Amino acid sequence: MEFLQKLQISTHNEGISTGSKWLAGHGVVINSYSPVDGALIAAVSTANKEDYDQVVTKAQEAFEQWRLWPAPKRGEVVRQIGQALRAYKEELGKLVSYEMGKSLQEGMGEVQEMIDICDFAVGLSRQLHGLTMHSERPGHRMYEQYHPLGVVGIITAFNFPVAVWSWNSMLAWICGDVCVWKPSEKTPLCAIACQHIITSIFEANGVPEGVSCLVSGGREVGEWISKDERIPLVSATGSTRMGKAVAVNVAQRLGRSLLELGGNNAIIVTKNADLQIAVPAAVFGAVGTAGQRCTTTRRLIIHEEIFDVFTNKLLHAYQQLKIGNPLNPENHVGPLIDKDAVQQYLHAIEECKNQGGVFLTDTGVLDGEAYSSGCYVKPCIAKVAHHYPIVHKETFAPILYLIPYKTLEEAITIQNSVPQGLSSAIMTTDLREAELFLSHAGSDCGIANVNIGTSGAEIGGAFGGEKETGGGRESGSDAWKNYMRRQTNTINYTNQLPLAQGIKFDIS
């Protein structure tokens, strides 16, 4: 395919890079198969421990130089990366769609998120502010400033194979850090394409080799990163199970971890909801990326007075969904990432049925020539009780659970009853209902929306969640502080040295 050639993706690719230099990997070879048609796209060489150590050493060397660049100069490099991403938006968006399986519109949208975070980071490069304060001692000045942290390890998941890396790397770079990226072994080509795109920008600006490093591989690479004392911050996106393992490894060496883990997101639909808004928000939130977003809508908590009306409208909308090749912009839903994901989908459906759930739509795997990869499934809806164990689990698939409620307080309790705490939403035209949902007694999630769905986030706001979602914050607001170390400074500009609590110490 032409877009693969433009992104310098061949039938065999090295998956280890320190920037312009691509290293021969001595690990296993990963084959990347497209869930769209089951075709083998390309093979990728991965790292062994010696390869990994070589990359981190180069990153350490690069940090010694990169941290001395003025932040606005680093921002200028990121600005040029944003321009390059604009030029490659179509090609990279198609690769994301083809290798991961999300719709072409979503693939393009993911690249746009990368462009947006570049723009955000450029402005931020001139605003890495500290804080001044008054000292209790005369003739003293106190302030706080932020310094670059060092090597940042970035572990990303398959469902957003490029955007989440950019959320971390663009901010880390303008802060003066260097990055070592371990992409998902299910989408290695997207990472390789990104590295190719930025290489020419780095070379043209004399950026030190090692500021952007790529280490492809399996679970072992993530373990090396999480246990590596040379890496002060590990940003990991993925399952809660994976995040807990990373958190333990990083904590044992007293490092920092930034975790973006699972979600089990709900929309509360009150009897005062505008259904013209609520229905499309629920549908897009539930079936976008074939239910493989951490912000996917997995539960609809619907007031009992409108439960049947809303459900009928939802079912009508589901009948209009087009499932198929995501590179065809007319299709709404693409495939799951692989056949393991399909089995998880089927297993969750059986669990739901066994626990008492009633499915209101067909379920199962689609067959036929158009679905030859075996990864296309039917988005489905089930009426459940909120105490069913399956409802409290995150299944990365387009399964939507409907739960009736009587009072808003009950609905909020139901929403907050799951272990995860990423995204949430309420659909209402009642100001009091909206404000209660956003109050201390409301949603316990990191994201709480009114009259928009749970999926999607603007880069200007910090993204992340609570409880088993990990507590991390990426992207906008003051998330940049994660990538820097804070230092308090006190300057005495007198010829006296006042000691604490009036202690006298005479050396004359």
Catalytic residues: 260
Distance CA 204, CA 226 (A): 32
For residue 45, how many other CB atoms are within 10 A of its CB? 22
Distance CA 206, CA 202 (A): 6
Distance CA 186, CA 100 (A): 8
For residue 266, how many other CB atoms are within 10 A of its CB? 30
Backbone angles phi, psi at 104, to 5 degrees: -60, -40
Distance CA 283, CA 130 (A): 44
Under a CB-based contact definition with an 8 Å cutoff, are residues 472 and 260 in contact? Answer: yes
Under a CB-based contact definition with an 8 Å cutoff, are residues 209 and 241 in contact? Answer: no
Distance CA 449, CA 437 (A): 9
Distance CA 92, CA 80 (A): 17
For 476, the 3-state DSSP assignment is coil
Q: Which residues of 158-182 are buried (b: 16+ CB within 10 A; e: fewer)?
A: bbbbbbbbbbbbbbbbbbbbbbbbb
Distance CA 42, CA 1 (A): 12
Instruction: Name the strand (E) or helix (H) holding 153.
Output: strand 151-155
Helices (H), 125-183: 163-174
Would you give the distance in Å from CA 12 to the centre of its chain? 28
Identity (one letter) of the amino acid at 241? R
95: Cα within 13 Å, side-chain hemisphere: 29
Nearest to 260 by CA among 247, 276, 272, 275: 247
For residue 357, how many other CB atoms are within 10 A of its CB? 22
Distance CA 461, CA 479 (A): 9
Cα angle: 41, vertex 46, 48; to 5 degrees: 165
Distance CA 483, CA 497 (A): 35
Under a CB-based contact definition with an 8 Å cutoff, are residues 324 and 314 in contact? Answer: no
